[in-house]
Amino acid sequence: MKRNPITLVTAGILALIFALMLFTFQVRQTEIAVVTTFGKFSRDITAPGFNWRLPWPIQRIYKFDNRIQNFEKKFEQTTTHDAINILITVYAGWRVVNPRLYLESLNGDSVKAEQTLEPLIRNAKNGVISQYRFGELISTNQADLKFDQIETNMLATVRPAASSTYGIEVAFVGIKQVGLPESITTKVFDRMKAERQTRVKQYQTDGEKAARIIRAEADSQANQIMADAKAKVIEITGNAEARASEYYKVLDQNPELANFLFQRNALEQSLKEKATLILDQQTPPFNMMGGQGAGITHSSPLK
Amino acid sequence: MDRNILKTGIINLVALLAIAVASQFVAQFSGCLTAQISVFYLTVGVLVAAVSAFQMRLANRERIEQLELSELKRSASAAALFDSTEAELYPARRAREQFDRFFVPGFALLLLILLGLAVYVSWPWTGKSLGPQIPKATITMALTALFSLILFLLGKYSAGVARLEGQRLLQPSASALLMGSVCCLLITLAEAAAWFGFPLVDRWTSRLLILILGLVALEMAVSLILEIYRPRVKGQATRLLYESRLIGLLGQPGGLITTAAQALDYQFGFKVSETWFYQFLEKALAWLILLQLGVLALSTTIVIVEPNEQALLERLGKPVAGRNVLESGLHFKWLWPIDIAYKYSTREVHTFYVGFVPDPEADKERLLLWTRPHYEQEFNLLVASRETVASSSTSPQTDQAVPVNLLAVNIPIQYQIRDLVSWAYQHSNGADLLDKIANREVVRYLVNVDIEAIMTTGRLKAADAIRERIQAQVDQNKLGVEILFVGLQSIHPPVAVAPAYEEVIGALQEKETNILGAQAYWIEKIPLAYADATNLVTRAKSDGLTKVTTAAADAGQFRNQMLAYSASPQVFRQRSYLETLVQAVRPARKYVLATTNTTEIIWLNLEDKLRTDLLDVTVPKPR
């Protein structure tokens, strides 16, 4: 019977691939593996590379990621030493260090591993946080903060149990988020608003105060200027009076004439406004109306 | 023989029904997605087998009817019988023809709708599946392998019988059995893959099956359309429209060429399969497929790393010494799975956000206000406060005076992978850890900084400080990443408090307005005061000068008047008096009493005359 060479080649290749799949396996750089024979632990493989095996179901290979895996859980409410409620999220990094123990205790399931680690981490978180005051979590003073110490204590609480029971090394624990419950958040908002209102009042009062001071200073300065000016006026007027009186000394040479001139000026000034004069014939020059000769008079009102 | 194929058809139907029901239980038991999709294939197979069995029964009745009529034809005494119409003579044939004409296309259309619906409904499942349950995989594999074997044996037998002359009605159920066998085999393989640590195989297998369902639906739609235009050759049996060639092909891959040839011959009405090209293709197909597989294998020896990428090369799982990191360009390697290259986008700048979740819709807005949320989510972060608030409350649960503030901080962070080996081999999800570290450092920074400082002068300093802190943590955790940029693009009070902050700004403006108003008053008041003062002084100077000058003039005049007066005092006085009187009394009303020595009393009314009416108003003269 003639056999088709293509069929033979294909069958040979397929048989080789199948055999390799059955009898070999690879472990990547990022993996560690456990080999079991009929369900019993045979060996673990921590180095990457090519390995031989017996086919399933005689031997089974369990591969695990040997890199650090992260997880975080709920934003959970807890209480500080000074009885302040806070919300806190913690994250952790873990990796498989004992693959056999990991397989036996957690069935090699990373989801189950994280579910198992969660209560450990929550317990450590709540326990450690309750030993510290709120001011050691939040403060403007660097010396008061105990963030590193809190994380170190949480890690120290979790690590031994995880390693000895589950074959897991918890590499780090960190605080990702800190918050306040909603009821307290509302109060913080109220306080922030009140603090802002204080500033509003302060600015308004400062503005009013500064404005009033400036106005008062302006008034004061203006009054000072006017007062100075008036003093100057008085001085100038006095000087003028003094200088004028020098000139008026000449009046002493003929007081009679001076008085006459003063009276004449007074008469002139007093009749400038609306006036009514009732005169008789004795008053010059109306005395001329009584038949007396022009320019002949016997008396004068100014005499 | 016909009775035998009907019996075989019914056995096929029962077997398909039983295995479909059993597979449904297996699918629920194992959680295997491939099994769930396979149940649909088996159900369709049950329907096809049922219709096929019914059609066999009709054909059987038609054959018996034909035999009976042939017997009657030979009997001359039954001559009256031949006067009847054809419909009356061949009820079974007529029933079969009616079935072929109406029911078969209707059923094919129904199948088409069912397949379409199945694709539409089942595709989203594949994204939600958690994969097969590993502990139950062994039982599932055992059961489905058994189902596959039963279906294969029955199907192979039926397919063999269907190739015989006049037995083709068995072909649809044979194809359904063989396809069911393939489906069960795929379930076994998917379970095995999950068992060996490849749970995603189940998802991809189920997607492949759904894709084939879609193709079968498409094939049926095309068949229904082409059936209308197909040339009718007398005596040629019509094709069963509910029978899928694709299902037949997948169930019997060996019959690929035959199926294709039959399809072409049927569709074109002549022997396409006898052409030289077709025959060449049939002979060379195996070589072509092998060549293609060879090319596919060789293609795994080439790696092209894009400009923004680097790749890690592993040989049998170990990094290849000396060339474990491949830079951008063309590289050669051993066949998969000996050498495997894992590509990473290392040169690309990656961005993630702390404090908010970007909202693509909100990003289109041109105006960002504190009083309006401008991202999908903004987280309020705690910020320390220098002010100390004394808590006098006795019940901390109900009233906690917390000396902190809340602040919405939007920080985009950009990074680049610098050390690919660390990035890929140290952490299973470096990007996630980086996000956590960045959040931690931002929180840590804010709890130690005063809100006033961070919102004002400390802003730039804060960005640098946070970047340095994140970089330090990244280095400590060997993430192999360089933090390129940390931007405090927005720091503002939470939306609920933002209006109060705006009021402060308003009050500050009000303060400035008040001060500026007062300064304007000052600016007006002082120069005016200077002006008034200057005016007063100037006027005083002027008056003084006038007074002095006038005094000087008066003194000069007085000296002259003294000369005149000393010359004739009486004349001077009289003349001076009269000259003055003339000038002075000119505007005054004057009454001169000219009578003398009388005793009359004269009444003079010196009152001003009052205006009596409007007619006394002096109208100005027209110009």
Residues 206-265 of A with CB under 8 A from B: 206-208, 210-215, 217-219, 221-223, 225-226, 228-230, 232-234, 236-237, 239-241, 243-251, 253-254, 256-258, 260-261, 264
pLDDT score for B570: 87
Q: How far apart are CA B527 and CA B524, in angstroms?
A: 6
End-to-end CA separation in angstroms for chain B: 144
Check CB contact under 8 Å for A229 and B536: yes
Q: Are A45 and A32 in contact (CB under 8 A)?
A: yes
Residue A121 binned pLDDT confidence (cut-offs 50, 70, 90): very high
Helix axes B171-195, B2-30, angle to 10 degrees: 20
Name the amino acid, one letter, at A301: P
Q: In DSSP terms, which residues pair with A89 in a beta bridge? A: A177
In whole numbers, what is the pLDDT of chain A averaged over residues? 86
What tokens were used for B26?
Answer: 């297996």
Residue B449 binned pLDDT confidence (cut-offs 50, 70, 90): confident
Q: Are B22 and B147 in contact (CB under 8 A)?
A: yes
A267 at B interface, C-beta within 8 A: yes
Give the lowest-confidence range in A157-171, B118-132, B268-282, B358-372.
Answer: B268-282
pLDDT score for A16: 85
B504 at A interface, C-beta within 8 A: yes
Q: For residue B11, how far is the Cα from the chain centroid?
A: 53
Give the lowest-confidence range in B72-76, B188-192, B571-575.
Answer: B72-76
| B454, B537, B561, B598, best to mutate vs chain A, most A CBs in 10 Å | B537
pLDDT score for B75: 67
B289 neighbourhood in chain A, CB within 8 Å = none
Q: For residue B289, how far is the Cα from the chain centroid?
A: 43
Nearest to B369 by CA among B493, B462, B452: B493
- Buried-state track B215-254, b at ≥16 Cβ within 10 A, e below 16: bbbebbeebeeeeeeeeeeeeeeebbbbbbbbbbbbbbee
The CB-side HSE value for B101 (13 A sphere, CA atoms) comes to 6
Shortest alpha-carbon distance between residue A102 and chain B (Å): 16
Q: Is the pLDDT of residue B341 over 70?
A: yes
A201 neighbourhood in chain B, CB within 8 Å = 507
pLDDT score for B259: 62
Residue A184 has its nearest CB partner, among B400, B513, B593, at: B400
Give the lowest-confidence range in A293-302, B37-46, B381-390.
Answer: A293-302
Residue B231 neighbours by CB under 8 Å, 6+ apart? B269
- Look at B535 and B102; give whichever has higher pLDDT: B535
Q: Is the pLDDT of residue A203 over 90?
A: yes
**Per-residue pLDDT averaged across B525-549, rounded?**
91
Residue A225 has its nearest CB partner, among B318, B533, B593, at: B533
Q: Are A240 and A282 in contact (CB under 8 A)?
A: no
**Per-residue pLDDT averaged across A182-199, rounded?**
87
Residue B178, number of CB atoms within 10 A of its CB? 24
**Per-residue pLDDT averaged across A260-274, rounded?**
84
- The proportion of chain A whose per-residue pLDDT surpasses 90, expressed as a percent, equals 44
Residue B393 binned pLDDT confidence (cut-offs 50, 70, 90): very low
**Per-residue pLDDT averaged across B520-543, rounded?**
92
**Per-residue pLDDT averaged across B252-266, rounded?**
62
Q: Is the pLDDT of residue A250 over 90?
A: no
Q: Is the pLDDT of residue B78 over 70?
A: no
Residues 174-203 of A with CB under 8 A from B: 174-180, 184-185, 187-189, 191-193, 195-197, 199-203
Q: How far apart are CA B94 and CA B88, in angstroms?
A: 9
pLDDT digits (tens, 9 = 90+) for A61-115: 899 999 999 988 778 888 899 888 899 999 999 999 999 999 999 988 888 999 9
Residue A271 binned pLDDT confidence (cut-offs 50, 70, 90): confident
pLDDT score for B621: 66
Residue B529 has its nearest CB partner, among A188, A225, A276, at: A225
Check CB contact under 8 Å for B397 and A85: yes
pLDDT score for B438: 95
Element (H, E) at A104: helix A99-106
| A103, A261, A298, A303, best to mutate vs chain B, most B CBs in 10 Å | A261
Q: Strand locations in B233-349, DSSP E?
A: 302-305, 310-315, 318-319, 325-326, 329-332, 339-344
pLDDT score for B528: 93
Shortest alpha-carbon distance between residue B130 and chain A (Å): 12
Nearest to B441 by CA among B473, B481, B408, B401: B473
pLDDT score for B432: 93
Nearest to B385 by CA among A249, A191, A247, A45: A191
Shortest alpha-carbon distance between residue A165 and chain B (Å): 22
pLDDT score for A174: 93
Distances in Å between the alpha carbon of B191 and those of B135, B140, B185, B198, B289?
Answer: 10, 7, 10, 9, 28
Q: Strand locations in B404-500, DSSP E?
A: 404-417, 481-486, 490-492
SS3 call for A28: coil
Check CB contact under 8 Å for A284 and B578: yes
Residue A26 has its nearest CB partner, among B317, B426, B555, at: B317
Q: What are the domain boundaries of chain A?
A: 5-64, 69-180, 184-253
pLDDT score for B188: 87
Which residue shows structure tokens 């933090």? B483
Distances in Å between the alpha carbon of B328 and those of A54, A189, B308, B416, B482?
Answer: 40, 53, 7, 16, 20
Assembly ipTM: 0.74
- Look at B559 and B233; give whichever has higher pLDDT: B559
Report the predicted TM-score, pTM, of the whole model to 2 decimal places.
Answer: 0.59
**Per-residue pLDDT averaged across A132-160, rounded?**
89
A8 at B interface, C-beta within 8 A: no
- The proportion of chain B whose per-residue pLDDT surpasses 90, expressed as a percent, equals 20
Q: Is the pLDDT of residue A2 over 60?
A: no
Helix axes B137-162, B171-195, angle to 10 degrees: 160
Q: Is the pLDDT of residue B20 over 80?
A: yes
Q: Are B308 and B345 in contact (CB under 8 A)?
A: yes
**Per-residue pLDDT averaged across B390-418, rounded?**
69
What tokens were used for A263?
Answer: 């009276």
SS3 call for B332: strand
- The proportion of chain A whose per-residue pLDDT surpasses 70, expressed as a percent, equals 93
B571 at A interface, C-beta within 8 A: no
Q: In DSSP terms, which residues pair with B119 in a beta bridge? A: none
pLDDT score for B131: 65
pLDDT score for A303: 40
Residues 372-391 of B with CB under 8 A from A: 379-382, 384-387, 389
Shortest alpha-carbon distance between residue A69 and chain B (Å): 5
CA A188-A190-A196 angle, to 5 degrees, is 105
- Look at B254 and B68; give whichever has higher pLDDT: B68
Check CB contact under 8 Å for A184 and B544: no
**Per-residue pLDDT averaged across A150-156, rounded?**
94
pLDDT score for B383: 86
The CATH code of the domain at A69-180 is 3.30.479.30
Q: Is the pLDDT of residue A232 over 70?
A: yes
Max intra-chain CA distance, chain A = 193
Residue B36 binned pLDDT confidence (cut-offs 50, 70, 90): confident
Check CB contact under 8 Å for A138 and B536: no
Q: Is the pLDDT of residue B200 over 90?
A: no
A227: closest chain B residue by CA: B533
pLDDT score for B489: 79
B594 neighbourhood in chain A, CB within 8 Å = 281, 286, 289-290
CA A81-A83-A88 angle, to 5 degrees, is 80
Residues 63-102 of A with CB under 8 A from B: 63, 65, 67-70, 72, 82-85, 91, 93
Helix axes B276-299, B256-268, angle to 10 degrees: 140
In whole numbers, what is the pLDDT of chain B averaged over residues? 81
B500 at A interface, C-beta within 8 A: yes
Q: Are A66 and A96 in contact (CB under 8 A)?
A: yes
Give the lowest-confidence range in A274-278, B164-168, B314-318, B524-528.
Answer: B164-168
Check CB contact under 8 Å for B544 and A239: yes
Q: In DSSP terms, which residues pair with A91 in a beta bridge? A: A72, A174
A·B CB contacts under 8 A: 358
Burial of A57 (0-12, 13-18, 19+ CB in 10 A): exposed
Residue A168, number of CB atoms within 10 A of its CB? 27
Helix axes B200-229, B33-73, angle to 10 degrees: 30
A93 neighbourhood in chain B, CB within 8 Å = 427, 433, 477
Q: Is the pLDDT of residue B267 over 70?
A: no
Check CB contact under 8 Å for B448 and A142: yes
What tokens were used for B514?
Answer: 């008040």
A213: closest chain B residue by CA: B518
Shortest alpha-carbon distance between residue B440 and chain A (Å): 4
Check CB contact under 8 Å for B596 and A280: yes
Element (H, E) at B83: none
**Per-residue pLDDT averaged across B202-215, rounded?**
87
pLDDT score for B421: 93
pLDDT score for B487: 87
Q: How far apart are CA B359 and CA A46, in angstroms?
A: 45
